[in-house]
Amino acid sequence: MGILEDPAWRAAIRRRLEIDLLLGVGYVPLKLTPAGGSGPSPATRWRQDRPSAVPAASGTASARPAPPARSGVRPEMVQAVTAEELQERMQALKALDENRVRVCRSCKLWETRTRTVFGQGHAAARLVFVGEGPGYEEDQQGLAFVGKAGQLLTRMIEAMGLSRDEVFICNVVKCRPPDNRTPAPDEIAACWPYLDEQLRIIRPEVIVALGKPAAQTLLRTQESIGRMRGHWFEYYTSGSPNVGPPTPLMPTYHPAYLLRSPAEKAKAWSDLKQVMARLGLPVPR
């Protein structure tokens, strides 16, 4: 029996391909068999084959995941809102950023920040990622997730068949904690209204909490990320009077943790596949 007939090998290869996808490897090295030949020959060589690297999607046998989007916004990947509604949301986010976040001095982090990092993305995103807080690069540029962890997050988003422009990315705290330490409870409490307001404006269909501080803050719990990840929770905004229905929330590992512990990437990918299924995106088998 060839290895492709062996279910254990097939499962192992599939797992490997999915993790590669998450890592941003967009090709599979294939052994080429010469035309008419029946086995490997000295002419065997490696070939980069991008499309066939994407495993077939579940559902119909022929379905394939959407090709990973690198940029741009496809209307079907964001909420169907009117142009007016979109404009209102963009203005509300802008006002929140300019009038409240940028001038915020509610905790001591303002003293050491270079820039506030409001977050960026689509005002009608179906999916919002919430991280912990800006790091060095983010503090310098004023943009969320643009450092090494951000690059991995981009690959995770693209592996889901989405682009960064189609989602919204932000953090629990909007100013960099010195030396990238975990934000303190008083800093999280001071910044909390901004995140809550962002989520009330965007009203996403799903929230992904990246790492322990994000998951614990959004779910108001002390539970460990290892126990929460991979399970669905509900996020209730704290605001009133517009307290709508709760938003499904999936906790998963933070990309910075995944860079330190690559073996955990398979778990993060499995969490993201649950999110894709919830959003009706094609899920690799």
Residues that bind ligand URA (CB under 6 A): 131-135, 138, 144-145, 147, 149-150, 171, 256
Instruction: Report in angstroms how near the CB of residue 184 gets to ligand URA at its nearest.
Output: 15
| Least distance between ligand URA and beta carbon 230 (Å) | 20
Minimum CB distance to ligand URA, residue 131 (Å): 3
Q: Which is nearer to ligand URA, 133 or 248 (CB)?
A: 133
* Structure tokens given for 236: 């209730």
Provide, rounded to whole angstroms, the least separation between the CB of residue 21 and ligand URA: 22
What is Dmax (Cα atoms) for the chain? 73
Nearer to ligand URA, 152 or 159 (CB): 152
Nearer to ligand URA, 123 or 256 (CB): 256
Shorter beta-carbon distance to ligand URA: residue 26 or 134: 134
In angstroms, give the least distance from the CB of 134 to ligand URA.
5
User: 138 or 197, CB closer to ligand URA?
Assistant: 138
Please give the residue whose beta carbon sits closest to ligand URA in the complex: 131
